[in-house]
Amino acid sequence: MKIAFAQLNYIIGDFSGNTDKIIKVIKHYGNQADIIVFSELSICGYYPMDLLEREDFILAQSQSLEVIQTTTANIKAAVIIGGIDNNSEQGKPCYNACFIYHQGQEIFKYHKQLLPTYNIFDESRHFAIGKLSPIWQYQGKRFGFLICEDAWNHQAPYLYDTNPVADLMAQNLDAIISLHASPANEGKYQQRLQRFSQIAKDCHSPLIYVNQVGGNDELIFDGNSFVLSAQGELIQQLPAFKTSADMIDLSHAHSTISSEFATLSPIEIYYSQLLLGLSDYVSKCGFQGVVIGSSGGIDSAVTIALASLALGADKVTAITMPSPYSSQGSVNDSQALADNLGIKLYHRSIKAEYELAIQQFEQTFGQSASKLTHENIQARIRGRILMEYSNHFGYLLLSTGNKSETSVGYTTLYGDMNGGLNILGDLYKMEVYAIAKYINQISGKIIIPENIITKAPSAELSTGQKDQDSLPDYPVLDAILRLYIEQDLLEPDDIQANQQMIQQSDFTDIDTIINKVDKAEFKRRQSPPILRVHARSFGIGRRLPIAQNYQSHRYFEI
């Protein structure tokens, strides 16, 4: 039995483009393979959100499925594809489904049984719970089906009344076919391998896991589709973060392989993930390029470098906007970075505009502006200038705040928070430094100047200002934040490492940091979308009320 499987990069709602990609694979493998497998919701892209409530969206998807069904009329293979099926009974109007087409006919379909509604997922908002049998008989073989969450009942059994994996265990299957739209995050790949290896062993069956690839809004799908033997051993795998397809003959597949992806460090994975997420966001949204404010600091430098590597230097513009408090070193560092990358850098002083704004404030309101007002006026002038460039040239403005600063509100609304996308917003500060060093390492030369990496971080909005004037050292701050924001999703070793980082420091005012995180919720609600790399990111993966008066208690041990 020869099975082809494809991980493709879909655009949500681009039925014509998605269908063309799928048909190209079908035509290539149609008379070589017995079965061709695509990923979950492949025809419409994952996740369509409330587009699923539009009748014309469902109709357009059905028309594309008909085109694919017709394409199978003259090929040998049966085609398995994820899509939306109408629900004619009481309940939500549609199902998350997979369809099987063979020789121009629909011969089987299955509806997803477990609908995740937590963290970044919201499927029960739109889909009905599936009740169809997952068992398909074809060419004398028995196949069992899972669609993504169907395989994960074990991690939260209290959420669901059924266990699709348990239902497959006594079915004497020849193979399990599992369709996914599984976004990447820290540790997810290892969790997948462990989980699906156990499923293959429990069901005594080979398993074909097919994921999608590419970025859609905050989510970045890593592909990494694989095939496991009945003993749960890895026997074939597609590459990470790349469109790819391959074929395997299950009757002759016995040799195990090792996963190169499993040996990568989190920083190496984040690097590839962010490049793909940014390039897809820009291309899928139709922007001509990106513009970034260059402060000479680590965050803007890493943002600029990643943008140049993802899009090409010709599609990246940087603007340095020194104020009276900017050091000449920061301006020089911005120029050195631009020269190293070969990008265009504009110099525009904000000194005169800043002084005029302060003068007009005092004339209008009859008193001197506070220190905070002085600082934020500078950030907002810069934000306005960047948006002027974005409006005129059609470039996407990238904001540059990291997760540590965004957590505690160390950002300025309508200033450095301006932008249509934030690619560092799910990286803690020390991870930003690690990415900078990694970029220099793999480039074989200095891209990000050493002075940017080694100097004390500062917003340079007042005389002698340093980030650590109001925050603990970043390694300690990051440890506190990881425990407060993500502890329930961390591995025990990670929890212990963060606890030790705090214990070894002399910082004790942890409750003040927690209070800063809670109070900054109103800012984060107004942030641009953030590319997600951790299990819990700000945005759709963490939803808290703004108007509330609950005093958070420290619920982690130091």
Catalytic residues: 40, 112, 148
Give the three-class secondary structure for 466.
coil
Return the bridge partners of 135, or none.
Answer: 144
The two structure tokens encoding residue 73: 């009329």
Identity at 511, one-letter amino acid code: D
Q: How far apart are CA 377 and CA 382, in angstroms?
A: 9
Question: Are 378 and 416 within 8 A, CB to CB?
Answer: no
Strands 421-422 and 396-399: parallel
Tokens of 271: 């690097």
How far is it, in rounded angstroms, from Cα 279 to Cα 274?
8
Q: What is the DSSP string of 168-205?
A: HTTS--SEEEEE---B--TTHHHHHHHHHHHHHHHHTS
Contact 29, 75 (CB under 8 A): no
Contact 301, 448 (CB under 8 A): yes
Burial class from Cβ neighbours inside 10 Å (0-12, 13-18, 19+) for residue 264 reads: middle
Structure tokens at 390: 């974005």
Q: For residues 394 and 287, what is the distance between their CA atoms, to the nearest angstrom?
A: 6
Cα angle value 55/117/232 (rounded, 5°):
110
CA 282 – CA 83 distance, rounded (Å) = 26
219-222/290-293 β-pairing: unpaired
Looking only at the bridges linking them, the beta strands covering 78-86 and 35-37 are parallel
Residue type, 43: I
Going 469 to 475 to 480 to 486, the CA torsion angle's sign is positive
